[in-house]
Amino acid sequence: MWLTRLWADGPNMACEACGLPVASRIDDCSLWQAVWLAPNAVRRFAVDNANAAPLSGAELMADGKGTPPFELIAEVVQRALDALLPAGPPAGRALLAGPGRPPPPRTPTSSSLPAHPQTGETWTPTNPATPAYLVPLPFGVWLWLAFLEPYLPIPAAGGMPNGFLRDDPPAPRTPHLFRAGPGTFQHALVRLPAVHSRWLREILENLTQHMRARLF
């Protein structure tokens, strides 16, 4: 395949065999590199072992690798949440459930469950006391949270430990607070089932005011 024109003008990658445009590649210096396949020009087909049975929970636990979630999530969203969410009852109780985890001692408000990396299906809890909200997580993120490994600031012996990132000197932090894009926030909000509730409508109606308060 080869580049033919800028990605913003449409597909810029062509099939090496037939020459038809099949994808758009983003390779600008200010954007993450990515390739987007044109759905009307390509199709999926099975490859070796594609029809094999999905791994069981025990097999995933044995072969899986944890994926650390974004460690600054509270710093990123807490300011906006504190300003937008209405006062309510005490915070609920969320637990991690899934293969290899003990059943909760009492019914939590919500549970985070792993999504199978092959099928995308959320693990089904066997505990009859199922909480009201089930939150699926990518399996790697769930595994990292459910079975935390000891963090080594320096290698105990030998070279750098697996997954250890080093930057000398540390990269400078931006002096500006993170702000979500108002358009992205609005698009996500209107897709929620509870968007017609009063407190969510008020957030949408006051979105311009929140932008002036530099929440977005």
Q: List pLDDT tens digits, range 6-43.
A: 556 678 889 888 888 999 888 877 778 888 888 888 88
Q: What is the pLDDT of residues 150-174, one digit of tens each?
A: 655 555 555 666 666 665 556 667 7
Q: What length does the chain have?
A: 216
3-state secondary structure the chain: CCECCCHHHCCCEECCCCCCEEEEEECCCCCCCEEEECCCCCCCCCCCCCCCCCCCHHHHHHHCCCCCCCCCHHHHHHHHHHHHCCCCCCCCCEEECCCCCCCCCCCCCEEEEEECCCCCCECCCCCCCCCCEEEEEEHHHHHHHHCCCCCCCCCCCCCCCCCCCCCCCCCCCCCCCCCCCHHHHHHHHHCCHHHHCHHHHHHHHCHHHHHHCCCC
Give the residue with greater pLDDT, 96 vs 170.
96
pLDDT higher than threshold 60 for residue 104:
yes
Q: How confident is the model at residue 204 (pLDDT cuts 50, 70, 90)?
A: confident
Q: Does residue 2 have a pLDDT over 50?
A: no
Domain ranges of the chain: 7-37, 57-146, 182-212
Phi/psi zone of residue 17: left (φ > 0), alpha (ψ -120 to 50 degrees), beta? alpha
Residue 169: cis peptide before it, omega within 30 degrees of 0:
yes
* pLDDT averaged over every residue in the chain: 76
- For residue 188 the two structure tokens come to 């996500």
- pTM as predicted: 0.50
Residue 3 pLDDT greater than 60, yes or no: no
